[in-house]
Amino acid sequence: MLMFCPTCANVLGVEEGPNCLRFACSTCPYVYNISRRMSTRVYPRLKEVDDVLGGAAAWDNVDSTEERCPKCFYPRAYFMQIQTRSADEPMTIFYKCCNHQCGHHWRE
């Protein structure tokens, strides 16, 4: 919990006083004794995660090539190339097995 000095608006720090903990300003003589437990818990809202590959629709209009599936050994796979790193790095090739019962995804 952040508390601010009502005199100079600086953030108050916690220090040990003679009988209890207290909030104290580092630039002026303001002191606030802590008489009870103070806590606040705030959980941030998580951002929605975007599907980098474009979701299921990304595989609708892709070509296939002779690439063996490492899971079911089907001889053909759909593929697409996406620039996942900086421009001076080669593109990443993503594959999806053409066997509709398998549908395994992998990358090169």
Collapse the DSSP code of 70 into the 3-class scheme (helix H, G, I; strand E, B; otherwise coil) and give the result.
coil
Ligand-binding site membership of 28 (annotated): yes
The pair of structure tokens assigned to 55 is 């979701």
Residue position matching structure tokens 């990358």 = 107
Residue 25 marked ligand-binding: yes
Name the residue among 70, 61, 62, 60 with its Cα closest to residue 108.
70
- Between the alpha carbon of residue 31 and those of residues 16, 19, 27, 40, 86, the distances in Å are 11, 13, 11, 21, 53
Asked whether residue 98 is marked as a ligand-binding residue, the answer is no
| 20 labelled binding-site residue | no
Residues making up the annotated binding site are 5, 8, 25, 28, 69, 72, 97, 102
Residues making up the annotated binding site for Zn(2+) are 5, 8, 25, 28, 69, 72, 97, 102
